[in-house]
Structure 1
Amino acid sequence: MAPKRKQNVEQPLTTRAVRSSTRIANKPVLADPEPPKPKRVKKANSEPVSADPEPEKRVNKENSVPISADPKSPKANRGKKAIPEVKAGSKVVVVEHCTQCRQFKIRAVKVKEELEKGVPGLEVRVNPEKPRRGCFEIRVDGENGEKFISLLDMKRPFGPMKALDMDEVISGIIEKIK
């Protein structure tokens, strides 16, 4: 015979210990929260009015740099990378590699490191512009720049690039530059 059921007696609720409960328990309680900021109000002629006395020159709280509404400000050029200017007399070598495969990047970084070690004062840029697909090219930057290696429109498995002996190529480039 089955045991009798116990009567429903109100039991206190048990609290489960979960990861979020420890975070909630350790969270500091703010005594006086900040008052809400005033919202923008539109006038009848539909021009936005802000709470700032000078909307043209606000200050960035993180860096305390004035933010201007000028279109030539640094914020206007967010997507564009600034290419550093070249010093007179120094050569710039560009290594352009496709971003399709990791093998391109490995070789490009190796070329950059070895050229900077081998030729003091040489500047090596890796992909200063958007690279072409299936491309691995090492050249001197400029109008009549000399091309050391130019492998274009390679298809997988990138046989011409993998067949290169990179140490030999790098030493050849260093000799031509010097």
Structure 2
Amino acid sequence: MAPTKRKTAEKPSDDNNTTRVTRRSLRLATQKPPVVVVEPEPKPKTKKAKVSPKKKPEPKAAEAAPPKVENGSKTVVIEHCKQCSQFKVRAVKVKLGLENAISGINVLVNPEKPRRGCFEVREEGGKTFISLLDMKRPFAPMKALDMDEVISDIIDQIK
């Protein structure tokens, strides 16, 4: 059997100009307009240094300056990126290795804001022992390093 055709109902004429009533239109019609309350502006306070919550307060001069170099002691700076925990793991390993092997050595980890994708070990104001800069993920040059060998090389160069 062939499907039967549906009969189309005649459309009512729009001579009445009636509007469609929906639940939303009823709710809007019965809703009261919102009340706007204007609060007075707060009085300006006395002049104080304002610290925004996003900015960290600047370190004091005593904290920012690295420790003074004592007679015969050397300072080694380890700068590592904060992007990935692998940088920190290697930096801590180098720090502990140097402190255990050489007595009276000062090892600073990130005394200033570190560069991105950077792992660098250097003598303060002098020689650079290892410098890996602008590394991209997955940080292959850094992960390929044998850290025990790197630590022993740095110890030999310092002595």
TM-score per shorter chain, which class? Answer: 0.5 to 0.7
1:79 matches 2:58 = yes
* 1:40-80, Cα deviation, whole Å (9 max, x unpaired): xxxxxx996xxxxxxxxxxxxxxxxxxxxxxxxxxxxx422
Is the radius of gyration larger for structure 1 or structure 2? 2
Structure 1: unaligned runs, 5 residues or longer: 1-45, 49-77
Equivalent-residue separation in structure 1 for 2:100 and 2:106 (angstroms): 11
Query: Paired residue for 2:150?
Result: 169
Superposition deviation, residue 116 in structure 1: 0.3
Superposition deviation, residue 87 in structure 1: 1.8
Select the structure with the greater relative contact order (CA < 8 A; seq sep ≥ 6). Answer: 2
* Structure 1 counterpart SS, 2:64: coil
Query: Paired residue for 2:10?
Result: none
Query: Paired residue for 2:134?
Result: 153
Equivalent-residue separation in structure 2 for 1:106 and 1:147 (angstroms): 20
Which of 87, 90, 104 is matched with 2:73 structurally? 90
Equivalent-residue separation in structure 1 for 2:97 and 2:72 (angstroms): 21
Higher strand share: 1
Equivalent pairs, count: 105
Query: Paired residue for 2:89?
Result: 106
Identity across the alignment (%): 67
Q: Give the structure-1-normalised TM-score.
A: 0.55
State the superposition RMSD in angstroms: 2.2
Higher helix share: 2
Q: Give the structure-2-normalised TM-score.
A: 0.61
Change (3 A) 1:47 1:155: closer
Give the letter aligned to residue 149 of structure 2. Answer: E
Give the letter aligned to residue 79 of structure 1. Answer: E
Change (3 A) 1:47 1:173: closer
Change (3 A) 1:47 1:172: closer
Equivalent-residue separation in structure 2 for 1:104 and 1:47 (angstroms): 45
